[in-house]
Amino acid sequence: MLRYFILTAALLGTLFQAMGSTQQAFSVRVVATGLAGPWEVIWGPDGYLWVTERTAGRVVRINPADGAVTLAVRIAEVYPGTSWHEGLLGMALHPDLLKGAGRDYVYVAYTYDADPGTALSRKLKLRRYTYNATAHTLVDPVDLLTNLPANDDHGGGRLAFGPDQKLYLSRGDDGANWLQNYCKPNRAQDLPAASAVLAKDWSTYSGKLLRLNPDGTVPSDNPVINGVRSHIYSYGHRNPQGLAFGPTGILYESEHGPGTDDEVNRIVAGSNYGWPYVAGYKDDRTYVFADWSHTTTPPCATLKFTEYGVPPEVPKHKESEWKGTFVPPIRTFFTPDERYDPQTGGSSTIAPSSLEMYAARTNAIPGWANSLLLPGMTRGLVYRMKLAEDGQSVVGPNEELFRTQNRYRDMAIGPDARTFYLATDPAGLGRTTDLSGKSTLEYANPGAIMEFRYK
Ligand SMILES: [Ca+2]
Ligand SMILES: [Ca+2]
Ligand SMILES: [Ca+2]
């Protein structure tokens, strides 16, 4: 027993030393700055960083050596809106880009006004471009899927190209039943009828992960959910902004929780992830589903939305009251204990903006092989989680990395597996944390690409 304790203490000492030295193990450099809301950053096959600028509607290529920015396309149709959830969002590069296979395709997702001229009809679309490697521009736009629901909150919008040669697109719950949209019913649990799929009515696609053929059609092997096959791959999501594939093809996702319980999920085709009935685990801790939009007496619109102290007229449902089947997260950030009071305890979340797989096994940073990296916005940190060998779960504590006074929006990993590129939010997008741990609205490096290189 005594020996056990000595060993454990020694191990813990090593662990804390390793965690404490994390910051010193990396050199930091600002690669580029002055970007208009960099939202996606990808290490391209040409050795450039490919970046979407959310509010400017631009795709740019950045030389990582000198930070020179080259415009690939400006998409005039992008509707940037005024919220954090609109504009040019996700991007995915076809794995055959610049391989001479005739598939030099780049996919983007963005919000646009589907009814210009009259009232605003905010929608999201998926578009494909072809890269002209001589002119270094994106040309020949093809709209693959249009008229997807969009709003001024919880837009999701992350894109990924899967090892199964399918496209994956995350869609948020559009902020329904929350803040300024509190009287709008939440549709994260709604599923389409066969007739809606035939009629290309995608109005149920809020709060979903979508899986598409590269031409935008429904894959014939997509899950049949509630008797219907559609683009929907999984449902019951709040605001999923991270998608990453593991080396064996497992899909991981991250999504924002409601003041507690940001989630990292392992995605199983056809499954329900619980929102809005459950946040994090089904544990009745803190979260109660307050169904504002279905308040009838008095009508919802006559009530004033509050996050805490929800009025008695609003129907409330404890997590344990819901009898549906769902897949719980593999990790939360964070599920507080019973003593936590959300009104006085502050936010227990990190605002996870994306997710990256660190698959490297050769040249990997010691201990890092087979990890997930989770950038967050409100704490100026990236969290590393070690995956179990089979990829089904995460093991051990989180490691906190790359602490700066910034909101990290996305990340790319360099081909050496030792260089990391972080995109930061532009000024004015809400709080982050300073180096002493205090909440702040000032960012050290707004609208930048930062490089962290392992020494
Ligand atoms: Ca990325
Ligand atoms: Ca969930
Ligand atoms: Ca819960």
What pLDDT does residue 338 have? 80
Residue 234 has pLDDT above 90, yes or no: yes
pLDDT at 4 exceeding the cut of 50: no
Would 10 be classed as within a structural domain?
no
Nearest listed ligand to the Cα of residue 357: 1
pLDDT digits (tens, 9 = 90+) for 335-358: 998 888 878 887 899 999 999 999
Report yes or no on 239 lying in a domain: yes
pLDDT in tens, 31-75: 999 999 999 999 999 999 999 999 999 999 999 999 999 999 999
Cα 187 from Cα 269, distance rounded (Å) = 19
Within a domain: 86: yes
pLDDT tens for 100-152 read: 999 999 999 999 999 988 899 999 999 999 999 999 999 999 999 999 999 99
Cα 221 to ligand 3 centre (Å): 32
Segment 59-70, tens digit of pLDDT: 999 999 999 999
Mean pLDDT for the stretch of residues 179-190: 98
Q: Looking at residues 220-235, what average pLDDT do you find?
A: 98
Residue 279 has pLDDT above 90, yes or no: yes
pLDDT band at 360 (very low <50, low <70, confident <90, very high): confident
Q: Is 317 one of the annotated active-site residues of the chain?
A: no
pLDDT value for 453: 98
Residues of the domain holding 447: 37-454
Over residues 390-414, the mean pLDDT reads 97
What's the confidence (pLDDT) of residue 22? 62
Smallest-distance ligand from the CA of 340 = 3
Residue 206 lies in a domain: yes
User: What CATH number should be reported for the domain holding residue 152?
Assistant: 2.120.10.30
Bridge partners of residue 452, in order along the sequence? 28, 420
Confidence of residue 9 (pLDDT cuts 50, 70, 90): very low
Say if 95 falls within a structural domain: yes
* Cα–Cα–Cα angle for 64, 68, 71, rounded to 5 degrees: 110
Q: How far is the CA of 90 from the centre of ligand 1 (A)?
A: 9
CB 324 within 8 A of CB 272: yes
> For the chain, how many structural domains are there in total?
1
Rounded to the nearest angstrom, the distance between the alpha carbon of 184 and the centre of ligand 1 is 32
9 Cα: distance to centroid of ligand 1 (angstroms): 38
For residue 271, what pLDDT band results from cuts at 50, 70 and 90? Answer: very high
Inform me whether the pLDDT recorded for 318 exceeds 70: yes
pTM listed for this prediction: 0.94
Q: Give, as residue ranges, everything with CB less than 5 Å from ion ligand 3.
A: 279-280, 283, 287
Residue 11 inside a domain? The answer is no
Indicate which ligand has the atom closest to the C-alpha of 262. Answer: 2
pLDDT of residue 11 exceeding 60: no
Q: Of the residues 154, 231, 237, 256, which is catalytic? A: 154
C-alpha of residue 396 to centroid of ligand 3, in Å: 21
> If pLDDT is split at 50, 70 and 90, which confidence band does 6 have?
very low
Q: Is residue 7 part of a domain?
A: no
